Amino acid sequence: MTIKFEDITDHTGIIINNFDASRDVNDKKIFQIRELIQKKHFICFRNQNLNEDTLLNFARQFGTLESYPEKDKTKKNIQIFNVANVSSEGDHLSEDDPRVVLQKNNSRWHTDSSYRFYPALFSLLYGKEILPKEAVGGQTQFCNMLLAYDDLPKEMKEKLQPLHQVHSYNDIRRLEPSLPELSIEEKQGFPPVTHPLIRIHPDRNMTKSLFFTSNTSLEIGGMSFKEGKELHSWLVNYIENKKFHLTHDWQINDLIMWDNRVLLHRVIPYDYSKYRRAMIRGTVEGTTPVYGPFSQIN
């Protein structure tokens, strides 16, 4: 049976109801899912019943998976990233626990692993515990950066063309000073990198998108720190326009998958001490650096 889907908006997102990611994995269906995500960037698979192993097995169909040797992120498997205010043992963590502070930082626009030389390609996030219907917040919101680029004023496109943003795992501490210092190994494992603010997509006829994050560093290479922060704030404010957005309201047992090359995402803040929110993520590694307007691609 072929996969049936419904569009969420004309530019981003589809919902699939008739696919079981723990069982229906075959070449034909994976090919179809690849085609769908290339076109719409976000897929919600409803009614899944996954554990760490079956989530990773499905994610692996799309490429090599990222590992997370960093502290406090792994459960049984080093390729699982905990997106939770709940510990691996199931305890609801206090608001000042560094693991919860990192969750709060995720309410800033970002792509996963932008601080790596090859940022993540696809993320697959499975909702094990979600907020009750009456709660405020907890949605995952996305911003389509192909649209955001297209809509930029011409002068801003020109201004951004030669610029790169610094992405630094360590710089999260500038934004969230209560986080403990990184270990030497963590610092050495993830030195700062830069990526172009305008990203070229060779698999989309060299289309351009905006590419920046607000959960790591605010520095723009080639500008003073102050000037860079001002430009960065302008960009963050610019993408608040709802016409670029898709907001995912979680249902229990949703699995969502998105293309980090095209979409930024963030969690809408919620009452972290009142509600439990526990999700597990498998992440497909990027296969190329972020190509910019002046990259020699071939």
Q: Are 209 and 145 in contact (CB under 8 A)?
A: yes
CB of 31 vs Fe ion, minimal distance in Å? 26
Q: Which is nearer to Fe ion, 125 or 218 (CB)?
A: 125
Residues 203-242 that bind Fe ion (CB under 5 A): none
Instruction: Specify the residue for token string 């997370």.
Output: 68
C-alpha to C-alpha distance for 211 and 111, rounded to whole angstroms: 9
Q: Residues 104-123: x/- map of binding to Fe ion (CB under 5 A)?
A: --------x-----------
The conformational region for residue 54 under phi > 0 = left, psi -120 to 50 = alpha, else beta, is alpha
Residues 40-99 that bind Fe ion (CB under 5 A): none
CB of 214 vs Fe ion, minimal distance in Å? 12
Strand duo 81-84 + 263-267: pairing = unpaired
Instruction: Specify the residue for token string 């704030």.
Output: 233
CB of 120 vs Fe ion, minimal distance in Å? 9
Q: What are 263's two structure tokens?
A: 């979409």
C-alpha to C-alpha distance for 19 and 131, rounded to whole angstroms: 24
CB of 61 vs Fe ion, minimal distance in Å? 21
Q: Which is nearer to Fe ion, 102 or 210 (CB)?
A: 102
Q: Which is nearer to Fe ion, 19 or 115 (CB)?
A: 115
CB of 116 vs Fe ion, minimal distance in Å? 13
- Tell me the residue nearest to Fe ion as measured from the CB: 112
Sheet of 255-259, strands arranged across: 5-7, 14-16, 42-45, 255-259, 122-129, 278-284, 81-84
Q: Which is nearer to Fe ion, 112 or 219 (CB)?
A: 112
Q: Which is nearer to Fe ion, 112 or 254 (CB)?
A: 112
Count of residues that interact with Fe ion, criterion CB under 5 A = 1
Q: Which is nearer to Fe ion, 112 or 259 (CB)?
A: 112
C-alpha to C-alpha distance for 166 and 170, rounded to whole angstroms: 11
Instruction: Return residues touching Fe ion (CB under 5 A).
Output: 112
